[in-house]
Chain A
Amino acid sequence: MRIANYADLRANSCALRRLAGRRFFALLSGLVVTLAPALARAEYRMNLAAPATGLAKEVYDLHNLIVWICFAIFVVVFVPMVVALVYHRKSTGHQPSAFRDNHKVEIIWTVIPALILVGMAWPATRLVIAMKDTSKEELTVKVTGLQWKWEYEYLGDDIRFMSNMSTPQEQIAGTQAKGEHYLLEVDRPLVVPTGRKIRLVLTASDVIHSWWVPALGVKQDAIPGFIRDTWFTVDKPGTYRGQCAELCGIGHGFMPTVVKALAPDEFAAWRAEQKVAMAAAVAVPGKIYNMAELKTIGEKVYTTNCLACHQASGAGMPPAFPPLLGSKIIKGDKAGHIDMVVHGKPGTAMAAFGKQLSDLDIAAVVTYERNHWTNAIGDVVQPDEVATRRK
């Protein structure tokens, strides 16, 4: 691939250079000097991600094969063109011939490309059929795309969690050095066992998203109201990173897709641990939280779920994303505020967070919003109050 593309460029610039002579060469070297610093220190990946599944490997090989075929055709077609441009020019006194067609040649160059295409289609067809075969799965995970995070639900296991980008806002704004996995890190990755056929069933709750991990060779749109499925089997333990691939609003660039593959026994341990944790995560019934506790939890919930639209300053981006500073709803009673968070506002980008967040999380974020920035309502919301508003 690397060679192919460089050679492409070279074939090109060869033809071009002869056309323009020295002036072009001077211009080109000027450009090279300008770009040299960037070129010199680069760590360039010029091909598909290193495959981590059998299918991704086959896609990788198919792509390489096709690029080489294209490169060969490119040479066969454009070498004669370059020859003509060099030798059949007016300035060398070449006289034009007058031929205007040749049926034999025309038939040949219609049929041969068609045959080459059949040759390309054959391996591709096999691969398409394999990619679409989601039968005989050993683990099924339901993936839901939300603006702007993924929810993973291990069907039949009662394990369910959100996966949010964990890159701090400071790194995006440039006030903090960017980490190694900038924008490609999440708080909780999808955890799967190696060597098992994992089937994903995908849907979305608001707009279309697309779940994509290049190393796994999987990209599947998540479409609201419909279920789609896809599959993969990871060869080796490791962390594989990708991003949402379908424009889904302002947080589209900040919606990583991270898969952590564990050896089967480690996965079994993780699974058992999660079941215990899920049971424990239910808020302690009857516990009364104080303002400081709620605001601490609330700040985290706000950063992951609210900040993209309503901003760190609470100023929002009106009119699509209204400010929370001095907002009417926040100044109003608690019930209205809780309702807005739980049920959302249909027809706007304000999602219904009732299904995504626990009573405690909602109580905390509402308390936080009522008592942060210049908002100082002074009241606290308990999880029980949220539970009553859910009905």
Chain B
Amino acid sequence: MYTATAPDAAAGDAHAHEHAPAGVMRWLTSTNHKDIGTLYLWFSLFMFFFAGGLAMLIRAELFQPGLQLFQPNVFNQLTTMHGLIMIFGAIMPALVGFANWQIPLMIGASDMAFPRLNNWSFWLLPAAGILLISTFFVPGGAIAGGWTMYPPLYIQGGIAYDITILAVHILGISSIMGAINIITTVLNMRAPGMTPMKMPLFVWTWLITAFLLVAVMPVLASAITMLLTDRHFGTHFFDAAGGGDAVMFQHLFWFFGHPEVYIMILPAFGIVSTIIPTFARKPLFGYASMVYAVASIAFLSFIVWAHHMFSTGMPVGGQLFFMYTTMLIAVPTGVKVFNWVATLWRGSISFETPMLFALAFVILFAIGGFSGVVLALVPVDIQLQDTYYVVAHFHYVLFSGSAMAIMGGVYYWLPKWTGHLYDEKLGKLHFWLTSIAFNITFFPMHFLGLAGMPRRIPDYALQFADFNMIASVGGFLLGAGQLLFLYIVVKCVRGGAPAGDRPWEGADTLEWTQTSPPPYHSFVTPPLVR
């Protein structure tokens, strides 16, 4: 689709490492989108293992009924921090890492629009990450009221609750700066000839995601600031005794929280929409409708938030409104799935590791979508709200959705980023381990939720024992499988068969016109897109 009429690889090489300091300072002071993208990705991988470790402890406690390993307050810390770190520390930074690496390369720009801001948005993350992890060691331990931070429970906690508010503020600032950078880059720095409707879909999804970030992060920031003032400065925003309303926090939180869900899935759509055409050797079906679908999902995400709160008891009109808007989301989401299937139809398909992840994404994400439709129906949701059914649902969209798309994307672009081919055999093994173990872990949770097991409990009634044991076995497998991922990535970074400029014959976006790894400063002369 895209061809660079003036390849500038040679010019880029001449500039390579010209201004970059060596060693630690290279990373600390880097303003280079590739270095910063690498930092984001390593950071998120570290947090993925940290929060995944917490999940292993959760599954160990839930392996059988009774309290074996952790007291309830520690268990609640584990579930809360698992969620918080996976969302803010693993999934979001990984996607921003992709944006940093890929957006300039895919639109033929030399770097991000604001390189210094880019450096700052990354280096805020380790600060926030250290703060979050440190809360495990402060008196009283980490926050234990769920990642959703609902008051009044949140008001009861100790110093960790204040540290977490600070950390989330820092993460929010980092996200907003990153989003502004992405919007500016995409709007202003595309190669000549790349009109909006010629942008790769990944760029489109990130552009829309960035607008969502800018719109909702300040809402989260204001909600948690109100929590902070309620805790320490005598306000009563969420305290009924002073005229406040605890449910108002939930409205604010989910006004952020629902778009946040799409912030984590839209770029994943973009990754999958890049991988599938490559390995089907056929252009993406319905490019324009894909763009419109992403835009409508983003719009709808602002008017569905209260479906997280059906059991709080809102007026019948409110329940119906949010039920209808939520169901509407199925339409653009369906369009995306149909388009992916149509892209495969009459293609020339091969099954390299990135493609396997992308195909699993389409099927498993669809299952998560179906359980989403089930949950959208208020009467059914009343039964399923706050049960393991919800846990199953959001892991189908966040793990087999976002996380597996991220893994697929890593395999897809690793040859470009490192200049080496990854170990295809091990990659496939990692894929099968992950997708099978994932289903063993999370599919039974649908049944647990239907049968009546609430989420966020450290111990459970005996009728839930068998499915919990199965889920735990699957969980340990899933966790172990990710060590293989780490090994494959490290191995690929350290060496391997040379990738060449374009290891995937079906790939046609601009980054494949660059060397692998691309020169430190790529596209010094912008390519011309026909």
**Residues in chain A within 8 A of chain B (CB atoms):** 1, 5, 8-9, 12, 15-16, 19-20, 23-24, 27-28, 31, 34-35, 38-39, 41-49, 55-56, 58-59, 62-63, 66-67, 70, 73-74, 77-78, 80-81, 84-85, 88-91, 94-102, 105-106, 109-110, 113-114, 117, 120-121, 124-125, 127-129, 131-132, 171-174, 178, 180-184, 206-208, 210, 212, 214, 217-221, 223-226, 228-230, 242-254, 308, 317-321, 347-349
Are A223 and B246 interface neighbours, CB within 8 A? Answer: yes
Bound: A242/B386 CA distance, A: 13
For residue B470, CB closer than 8 A to chain A, the reply is yes
Secondary structure dominating the interface of B: helix
Are B319 and A132 interface neighbours, CB within 8 A? Answer: yes
Of all A-B residue pairs in the complex, the 8 with the closest CB atoms, nearest first, are A225-B240, A253-B457, A228-B313, A45-B451, A70-B370, A96-B348, A214-B452, A250-B72
What's the least CB distance linking B462 to chain A, in Å? Answer: 5
Q: Pick the contact of B311: A90, A245, A349 (CB < 8 A).
A: A245
| Surface stretch bound by A, among B109-117, B333-341, B492-500 | B333-341
What's the least CB distance linking B247 to chain A, in Å? Answer: 6
| Surface stretch bound by A, among B123-131, B371-379, B414-422, B516-524 | B371-379
Decide yes or no: A94 and B382 within 8 Å by CB, A38-B466, A173-B66 being known contacts: no
9 contacts between A and B (CB under 8 A): A27-B432, A35-B440, A89-B348, A109-B335, A117-B330, A178-B66, A206-B152, A217-B383, A244-B454
What's the least CB distance linking B456 to chain A, in Å? Answer: 5
What's the least CB distance linking A42 to chain B, in Å? Answer: 4
Q: Pick the contact of B73: A5, A248, A317, A347 (CB < 8 A).
A: A317
Are B67 and A348 interface neighbours, CB within 8 A? Answer: no
Bound: A118/B438 CA distance, A: 33
Are B287 and A220 interface neighbours, CB within 8 A? Answer: no
**Residues in chain B within 8 A of chain A (CB atoms):** 65-68, 71-73, 76, 139-140, 144-146, 150, 152-153, 155-158, 239-241, 245-247, 280-289, 311-313, 315-316, 319-320, 323-324, 327-328, 330-331, 334-335, 337-339, 341-342, 344-351, 356, 359-360, 362-363, 366-367, 370, 373-374, 377-380, 382-383, 385-387, 428, 432, 435-436, 439-440, 443, 446-447, 450-452, 454, 456-463, 466-467, 469-470, 473
Are B323 and A318 interface neighbours, CB within 8 A? Answer: no
Are B473 and A219 interface neighbours, CB within 8 A? Answer: no
**B473 contact set on A, CB distance < 8 A:** 34-35, 38
With A96-B282, A243-B452 given, name 19 new contacts (CB 8 A).
A19-B359, A27-B432, A59-B383, A62-B380, A66-B373, A81-B341, A97-B282, A100-B286, A102-B342, A110-B331, A128-B378, A208-B153, A214-B452, A220-B311, A220-B313, A224-B152, A252-B456, A253-B458, A319-B140
Are A183 and B450 interface neighbours, CB within 8 A? Answer: no
Bound: A85/B283 CA distance, A: 16
Decide yes or no: A124 and B68 within 8 Å by CB, A207-B156, A348-B156 being known contacts: no
**B456 contact set on A, CB distance < 8 A:** 247, 252-253
**A308 contact set on B, CB distance < 8 A:** 72
Bound: A23/B433 CA distance, A: 12
Q: Pick the contact of A99: B285, B350, B467 (CB < 8 A).
A: B285
Are B347 and A88 interface neighbours, CB within 8 A? Answer: yes
Bound: A24/B327 CA distance, A: 36
**A251 contact set on B, CB distance < 8 A:** 72
Decide yes or no: A245 and B387 within 8 Å by CB, A46-B450, A49-B452, A121-B323 being known contacts: yes
Are B383 and A48 interface neighbours, CB within 8 A? Answer: yes
Bound: A132/B287 CA distance, A: 43
**B458 contact set on A, CB distance < 8 A:** 253
Are B466 and A48 interface neighbours, CB within 8 A? Answer: no
Are A100 and B285 interface neighbours, CB within 8 A? Answer: yes
Decide yes or no: A77 and B337 within 8 Å by CB, A70-B374, A178-B66, A225-B241 being known contacts: yes
Q: Pick the contact of B327: A121, A128, A182, A207 (CB < 8 A).
A: A121
Bound: A84/B205 CA distance, A: 26
Q: For residue B377, which residue of chain A has the nearest CB?
A: A124
Bound: A55/B469 CA distance, A: 32
Bound: A82/B252 CA distance, A: 43
Bound: A101/B266 CA distance, A: 21
Q: Pick the contact of B341: A63, A84, A181 (CB < 8 A).
A: A84
